Chains A and B, each alone.
Chain A
Amino acid sequence: MGNPRSESNKGDQVKFQEELKDNIRKALPELDVVIGWCGSFDPLHATPHFMRREEDIDKLEISPLSVHNLATYLPGLRGKKVGIVVKGCDSRSVVELLQENLINREDITIFGFPCTGVVDQSKIKKALGGHTGNIEFCDMSESVIVIKSEDKAYTLPMAEMLADKCSSCRYPDAVISDYFAGEKIGNKGEEDADYAAVETFENLSVPERFGYWLKEFDRCIRCYACRNACPLCVCRDHCAAESRDPHWLSQENNVRDKLMFQVIHAYHLAGRCTECGECQRACPVDIPVLMFKQKMNKEIRDTFQYEAGVDPEATPPLLSFKMKEENITEKVW
């Protein structure tokens, strides 16, 4: 595991960020809005940043805090000329949206940059003893995050604070872009995706697995942040979760419907999910909801040798078939 990173230092980060800003400055006059990131309520958080005027560009900040997948906003802005800053993983969502004709290529301007990974806030929280409510200072380099919280200074190894998807990332550079600021790191799509965590979980006994999900989903509040943060949950206001006819789910607060919804989400993403992890990141009660989607992707890979979000022209496997399926062995009775 692990992504051999370019030994660029902070200076390079600043350099490509300036280049990126120049790119946006050039393109903005033709665009309604460019979406990037900027600082948020404390030094440890960033927030999506909608740039409409030139002066908005100054606030743009690219850092390991740029966690949000901004592709989520694209279908809602259809019809507008939109610029979007993408990490490698985010760009794969853009590819999916293009593939599904949910956005028009000519309306979208994509700004790429070499992504060295984003943090997992829960990991930082754990490293800080379960509390990130009083962050006074935060600075990051390639190798460490320095945080001051409640008069205590922490120096955390960046590699350990990165989101899981980043430590096994195979697409650090945008797979599709109109502008690319900085030096590409190099994508490695031909390497196998890492599903070790899924496999470990599958080795548990049936009651252990079933019980695990019941326990985890018990605290679900059905806010559907997982769904709304998902760039590929494109039904938006017409989701099966709230439909009365068909009546997939009840409104009762019960663990069955919460679990069922996650299966619905995973299945509706079969062959579409790019594992950007927004569902899990958005969950306000930290339920590990990404694993269902990883499992689905693993099955799609094993059965159809297909990976979503790489080729805008590809046909997703569940929208096609072969008379003879090489990797499906039917049961003999």
Chain B
Amino acid sequence: MSQRMRINGGIVDRSKPLSFEFDGKQLQGFAGDTLASALLANDIRFVGRSFKYHRPRGIFTAGPEEPNALVQLRRGPYQEPNTRATVAELYDGLHAASQNYRGSLNFDLMAVNDLFAPFLSAGFYYKTFMWPQAFWEKVYEPAIRASAGLGRLSGKDDPDIYDKGFLHCDILVIGAGPAGLMAALTAGRSGARVILADEDFAPGGRLNAETHEINGGDAQGWTASVLSELKSLPNVRLMKRTTVYGAYDHGVYGALEKSTDHLPMSGGKPRQILWRIYSKRAVLCAGATERSIAFGNNDRPGVMLAGAVRAYANRWGVAPGRNVAIFTNNDDGWRTATDLAAKGVSIAAVIDTRSGAAPADVAGATIAMGASIVDTKGRKGISAVTLSNGTTVPVDCLAVSGGWSPNVHLTCHQRGRPDWADEIAAFVPGKDLPVGMSVAGAAKGALTLAACLQEGAKAGAQAAQDLGLTASMAEIPEASDEASAITPFWHVTESKGRAWIDLQNDVTAKDVQLAKREGYRSVELLKRYTTLGMATDQGKTANVLGLAVLAEASGKSIPETGTTIFRPPYTPVPIAAFAGRSRGKDFRPTRLTPGHEWAAEQGAVFVEAGMWLRGQWFPKPGETHWRESVDREVLATRKSVGICDVTTLGKIDVQGRDAAEFLNKVYANGFAKLPVGKVRYGLMLREDGMVMDDGTTARLSENHFVMTTTTANAVGVFRHMEFCRQCLWPDLDVHLISATEQFAQYAVAGPNARKLLQKIVDPEFDISNDAFPFMGCGEITVCGGTPARLFRISFSGELAYEIAVPSRYGDGLIRALMAAGEEFDAVPYGTEALSVMRIEKGHPAGNELNGQTTARDMGMGRMVSKKKDSIGSILSERPELNREDGLALVGFRPVDRARQLKSGAHFIPKGKTPSLENDEGWMTSVAYSPTLGHSIGLGFIKRGSDRLGETIVAADPIRGESIEVEIVSPHFFDPEGERVRA
């Protein structure tokens, strides 16, 4: 069986045979084939099963509108479900399989559904499967779910790579058919930056599928000459295999380029590229889509759209049948008859719903005017048609033309609605187009070649002129201008058999009528109730027909009945393409500190902190549990000295004559009088009075401050301060710039911190307790002249400093610090030990500063100065935020010291049932304190500060635990703060 349906002509390359496999059969096609044309060439027409009734289905169209011929393309993790065979470009070794059956395509067990069709009418599932209640989840739903969907994902990670890109143009021309080619040519000649995008791998649109003549020569020759001129223009970018799938605000279009889908393997290059195209003008030349007619059993393999039958013969040199009938309501259907006959394909009959004289002679064919087809025969392929006059004609292919619908999809993407045009019995673009878009050619309802050429040229010229360019109308090539007369005809009402409207979702005319009868009369309700137009083809061939049948049932006209809105994408786009490179480790950037490499050498375990990676702890040989490492780091720090990389804290350089006043406004506590050379803790509120962030700010000179923020809030705080600066207090002389990246910063903490630092701080700087007291700061040099900043601040509660050097020296400094610390047994400590020490000290951090808590909750209410205007001060006074029984941050320890506290436990008074009414607060942070030898926690509890010493239950039902805890001061360690001043 070797391409026995291949006939002469077409633009396939017969010198390049390609092998492929379909459902296990080895077959051959040619370069230039689609999978569909190659299947038809091999006389394979039954290619899939429908969604609901599992009816045999064949290839219906020759384009992206295909509802039936969906295949599973490629194998293993490369497999791609629901691929339309009609647009899948054939390559050597292509592997495809049919979908949606149990058993085999030929013997599908689920085909039994077709027998039960009377019970599976539109919306049947809303009316049943409700009893007994338990059966829905156990029996009915699993059964329904099992029959869901068509194709199958592999379940494996998509192995291909994808890319994205951004293109900018003056004029985007969508579609490279006759109108698009002329638009691009005219615009391109004006000097405009033009992008011409076409979804096909062979530009030309319908010109490839027809036997038109242009300027007296064949249309393909004309296409080639236009393409060659376009390629020669440096200001024109021609993009094949590129579908413009969506129209977004302000001239932004989404496009998908299939860069390697036509190749056996992608060869390390992106499989697809998702382009964002920024245009000043767009000319939509997307052509038109043919639609069917509803009649009995109009869904069998071999029933095809007439334009598609013609396309297979003309473009691909394939006869879709040996004995073809045509059923049409317009002249265009007759072209299929004449084109096929000219190629030697036998035409059995032409059935035209219009009365009057036949528009053409077709040798040997039965001509039936004013007639229709009421039924078809054949199980896995059509074998005969029955006419309204009772005659039966044996056929193996039926070409149906119900007229053409302009592809108005992109005109509706910004919710514009199309208008109905009686002349062509179709929707055409409405007046409310996306800004900058114009429409030309068949997409606008111009259904003759001459009109397409003319309109395209005009639209291209107009777009260029709109942009101030000089565009002269290109010479319009001569072509046929014969309008295709149509008399609307939608539905053969005398058909007894089911008449399909939506082939993929198995929606029939009866379903539409039933929905209407049951009150689902708005088009939107109809669509939802019947699922019309909701399959993978989005009803491209079905929507207008469905509307027509609804209109017929309602006794209204189509425009009175309505239209459905088209949403992006025009054709489906892989999720991976939208993701581009952002997956796996590349999902988001990773920020590393200058000390990262050193930490990695120490075997640090890293943890994500926002975009940063931070050392969480530094295991030593022999340590098997993270707690061992963390306990050791805490104890060593408290005993001697530890070093922690705190580079990730946000740093903001604040300068200006009014910098102090500015800080006084953005912080709740006072900053105006902070002396030079000093650091102060700052509490920043949101305007709603909740705590936004905290940190320290140092005054380096009269007009120069450096602020630190938490790692998590660095970006948000900077943005907020720019808002305050630009929008609230625009007259202040204050300037902000982030210095987070500029410095590597380390905390050096512990009783020996000073001694350690004295070894590296250059001798001219005195950092003794007197010269450099707690909360002092200064610009110094270290290690023989490297500039540094030193801050005497402490999060750990120890004598501690933070030292910052330019990032280039960050690696050097940590090595120098560790070397200098060797004699003190200095340890590096990670974020866990940092957290343990701050909990021991009762310092709030992220779990406490969660955006739901106030300064008062934190026990810092008095820091909110009422003597000045600062962000958040007024709204923090609202009554519910100042209740007597409000939350307060306190410490907790287990009554049984051996027990471990859990974050997220809720506090319930002893003896009360754990319920919402008895819920008094929750545990925010817990740690094992190696210093104290037991578990400790911080948490918010009602009237907490009045309840020190009380025992309460920390209920943790989600982990099945409930333990008694004692409410204590949050300052577990060195409550008087003596160590920091040592």
Is the A/B pair a real complex?
no
Chain B residues near A (Cβ < 8 Å): none
Chain A residues near B (Cβ < 8 Å): none
